[in-house]
Structure 1
Amino acid sequence: MLKKSFVIISISAAFYAQAQNISVIKNSIDIYSNTPMTGSSKFNAMAGSNGALGGDANSLMTNPAGLGVAIAGDLSVTLALTNNKNTSSLAGSSIGYNVDKFNVGNVSGVATIQLSPKTAWKFINIGANFSTQSAEEYIESPRNTNVVIAKQLVDSNGNAVNGNMSYMGHAYNRYGSQSKFNLGVGANYNNSLYIGASVNMHYADIDQYDTALFGLDLDNSVNAFDKQYTPYSEKSNGFSASVGVIGKVTNQFRLGASLETPTWWNVDRIYTDHFTGDDGYIYYNTYGESRDFRSPMKATFSGAFVPNKNFALNVDYTLGLTKPKYRVQGAAERELNSFFNDNYKNLSEVKVGAEYRIQSFRIRGGYAYASSPFDAMTISSYNDAGVAGDNNYSNFILGDRNTIGVGVGYDFGNFYLDATYQNISSKYKNPFLKGDADAGTGYYSGDFDVNTPYSVVSQVKNNRDNFYLTFGWKF
């Protein structure tokens, strides 16, 4: 029988090493910097491209000036069925896992207030939009027994023994949801200039797990180990504001621009601190902390071509103006901010959407491309043969994202019904396993800890199939 290794970790060391948890870096971008963009079926079919078109409350997600374009009240509810599949590949093997979710993805409405014909101001409109989506994700990477980590242990007779820990598999597991509520106002000046502004409330609730399997050659056992400071839970609230403008260059061409401030987040976090007691057994304590995070500021520039009432084409370009940043409370936040300063690329996304009308029938389509948020990086990692060295990776942690949407709709007069299929795909390199023995940031079981200064990196293909059905009422 093996006794447990003896490691003591202090709270100061725990805070210092938190940034080594890759899931914290990923969630900072994936959750807190990319808020839900689930709109109506029309919005989703056009890949979210509506910055110079507007006309309904979904404009609040791109350009609040689009509220001013509306000439009639509108209320819609969108049901969303999503399939999120991650396929992780490593050393010639692959593991795929699906997460299916059904929910009310969007509720939005706009009320129009027509002004006196004696003024050039035609409408002042008030709109509200609520979007929500699941944050659940499971990434299981295959084993690679070529990756072996030496471990010094003590047997039941008190003798020092040298064991070898073989890597047998890994999983990032995240549960939760995220949502965004927009409340805004838009105005129409002389049917040629539209302005708008909104306040945006954000919410996220996630539970994150980071687990590895290791096999020990001394007794041929296989056990699960939790990454230091996991599992952790976060309940977060954020606030941002947006302003925008749309102008008609001619009756057929429109230009738009909008600016969204950073989202100022307050993140209440509960995490698990593993340590080895004086008796040699592994224990853990749960600690809480509150963090402040600021997501990047974003600007969107738009152009639309509307030659007649039957066809509309819109192009949006969104650019990140700042980098994500944590308020520094200790070494952990300094490490995170240093990582973002050195490796984060400002957001760059292009969206193109179009709609064609045949009497009461609508056909829509769209495409969007967002670049990877991180530069290519060189890290110390194992290759497939289990040899450690410096390796360079592009699309690291998160990758380029492609979105394709197609949809149809029918206008019954006061009511309308829309349906959309949307596919979102990306590929990225998925690092895990790295830990610092001195800081105690490795993986812990009930028996002992495992540390290695090298990462294992799998290739992940993420594919999301989304189906939307919108019921709308115009008044």
Structure 2
Amino acid sequence: MLKKSLVLMGVAAAFYAQAQDVSIIRNSIDVYSGSPMVGSAKFNAMGGANGALGGDANSLLTNPAGLGVAISGEVNGTLSISNYKNTSSFGGAAIDYNKTKGNLGNVGAVMTFQLMSESAWKFINIGVNFSSQSIDNYIETPGNSNIIYDFDAANNISSSYGGHAYSRSGYLTRTSLGVGANYNHALYIGAGLNFFNTSIDQYDTARFNSTANGAAEYFNKNETPFFERGSGFSASLGVIGKVGPMFRLGASIETPTFWEIDRSYDFYNDAVYGDDTAIENRRFTSPLKASVSAAFVPSKNFSLDVDYTLGLTKPKYKEYSGADVEINNFFKDNYKNLSELRIGAEYRLKQVRLRGGYSYASSPIDALTVSRFSNDGGISDASYSNLILSDRNALSFGIGYDFGSFYIDGSYQNISSKYTNPFMFGILDTANGINSAYYSSTRTIESDAYIVSDVKSVRNNFFLTLGWKF
């Protein structure tokens, strides 16, 4: 039974879960430590690999030195249509959920200034890029009547687990301004400033069904739903150099993103305030990132680029409270530094452009052992190498046509991942100020073990870009 289960999980995971929702971990890594990588259709078709190629405003997403490669001005806009499907499986049952959403995914512009002098400096270029993506993510898990909670054992009042849902909606945007310079068409340097904004509406809801008459009752985890509005900034530096006529090497570094987050949330059963809403401000620092790139350009008709990005630090909250200390300890003990590989290629056949790409991002969290409910309602330890988030694979391809001054590009991107989804851990320890239980209007559910489902996530994205060169 939920309330009488035993805590047998790893120390770091248990310590963190006492006070906060798992979705805080997911959002800290998935939203605040990531950055929008939705660029033009060309950029997306090539898997986001352009760190040693450059030439357009999307260089500000990877290596600002790429601005210096441009020899003509350009402006483009990209329509993004995104569909995601999550399948959450538990107890031999599964629930699918899919959603399609369209928005203006990217706008970019480069202005080139050719230096009319005898100097080896050929161009100084200015670029601006706006990137936006939906961060909507809904995970609904089926129920299991074998998992029972006793509200009043003496009077035989109990309910069985009927289902659970994590619901996140919102957006993440990145606006970048940068400058790039061209030295003798052999060395390119650049710098950029990046400004981020995000909006997150997050829910964590469980349903339990009465064992007496089947009536459904809904419970919210304490401090949910919560609503966050955040802004942040970072800076980036980069360089690209030609190594012979066919090869280029690039390197860039992006500072941590320094976030300020305003957060409101609902809380329940407080000794002083009862059920009410609270507001707080949080400060978060994402990892410092470094990238290296290599490109092979044997002719004007073919190019190949490989980028590798590594996180050099770990995410961290400013410690205003014990909850901030807990999550920082979790990241310190269990977070794995970001590692991402991107490969992209383009082939030109007269005015036609054919493109393809692939990217792989490693799992951001170490393997964890937790106490969890099995399908028969029993409790045992289980180890997971993909708890909360996992590695991610993205495959893409696209086609474009160059009319001269104008061009049109289209691309398709498939992103897939599989991870295990923990929920329903929640305890009430008023003596130590800990309250992570689940609440309905009249009842409370405590559990010191997780329910864990298996989630398969597939995202299919389509992009259409219209551009003008001048």
TM over 0.5: yes
Q: Which amino acid aligns with 2:147?
A: V
1:84 aligned to 2:84? yes
* Residues 18, 427 of structure 2: 8 Å contact kept: no
| 1:146-295 matched pairs, under 5 angstroms | 146-152=146-152, 161-275=155-269, 284-295=275-286
1:306 aligned to 2:297? yes
Q: Distance in 2 between matches of 1:249 and 1:191?
A: 12
Distance apart, 1:283 and its partner CA: 5.2
Q: Distance in 2 between matches of 1:152 and 1:437?
A: 17
2:75 corresponds in structure 1 to 75
- For 1:59-97, what per-residue CA distance to the aligned partner results, in whole angstroms no more than 9, with x for missing partners? 000000000000000100000111011110111111111
Distance apart, 1:384 and its partner CA: 1.5
Distance apart, 1:151 and its partner CA: 2.3
- For 1:143-185, what per-residue CA distance to the aligned partner results, in whole angstroms no more than 9, with x for missing partners? 11111223237xxxxxx63433311100001111110000000
1:330 corresponds in structure 2 to 321
2:452 corresponds in structure 1 to 457
| 1:124-163 matched pairs, under 5 angstroms | 124-152=124-152, 161-163=155-157
2:100 corresponds in structure 1 to 100
2:463 corresponds in structure 1 to 468
Distance apart, 1:276 and its partner CA: 6.6
1:396 aligned to 2:387? yes
| 1:419-438 matched pairs, under 5 angstroms | 419-438=410-429
TM-score (norm 1): 0.93
Higher mean alpha-carbon deviation, 135-144 vs 319-328, is at 135-144
- What is the Cα-based RMSD across aligned positions, in Å? 1.5
Q: Which SS does the other structure have where 1:247 is aligned?
A: strand
Q: Distance in 2 between matches of 1:117 and 1:383?
A: 74
TM-score (norm 2): 0.94
* Residues 45, 420 of structure 1: 8 Å contact kept: yes
2:443 corresponds in structure 1 to 448
- For 1:268-297, what per-residue CA distance to the aligned partner results, in whole angstroms no more than 9, with x for missing partners? 00011111779xxx9520000000000001
1:340 corresponds in structure 2 to 331
- For 1:414-467, what per-residue CA distance to the aligned partner results, in whole angstroms no more than 9, with x for missing partners? 000000011111111100000013233111101111111000000111111000
Q: Distance in 1 between matches of 2:400 and 2:359?
A: 21
Q: Which amino acid aligns with 1:36?
A: P
* Residues 149, 452 of structure 1: 8 Å contact kept: no
Q: Distance in 1 between matches of 2:213 and 2:445?
A: 16
Distance apart, 1:17 and its partner CA: 7.1
| 1:401-420 matched pairs, under 5 angstroms | 401-420=392-411
Higher mean alpha-carbon deviation, 18-27 vs 288-297, is at 18-27
* Residues 18, 435 of structure 2: 8 Å contact kept: no
Higher mean alpha-carbon deviation, 56-65 vs 380-389, is at 380-389
2:308 corresponds in structure 1 to 317
1:361 aligned to 2:352? yes
Q: Which amino acid aligns with 1:271?
A: Y
- 5+ unaligned residues in a row in structure 2: which ranges? 1-15
Aligned residues: 451
2:8 corresponds in structure 1 to none
- For 1:344-369, what per-residue CA distance to the aligned partner results, in whole angstroms no more than 9, with x for missing partners? 00001100000000011000000000
- For 1:388-407, what per-residue CA distance to the aligned partner results, in whole angstroms no more than 9, with x for missing partners? 12110111101110011100
Q: Distance in 1 between matches of 2:102 and 2:63?
A: 28
Q: Which SS does the other structure have where 1:53 is aligned?
A: coil
Q: Distance in 2 between matches of 1:273 and 1:161?
A: 29
Q: Distance in 2 between matches of 1:386 and 1:400?
A: 29
* Residues 72, 111 of structure 2: 8 Å contact kept: yes
**Residues 19, 30 of structure 1: CA spacing in aligned structure 2 closer, same or farther, 3 A cutoff?**
farther
Detail structure 1 runs of 4+ shifted over 4 Å in the superposition.
16-19
1:374 corresponds in structure 2 to 365
Q: Distance in 1 between matches of 2:223 and 2:457?
A: 26
Q: Which amino acid aligns with 1:442?
A: A
Q: Which amino acid aligns with 1:173?
A: S
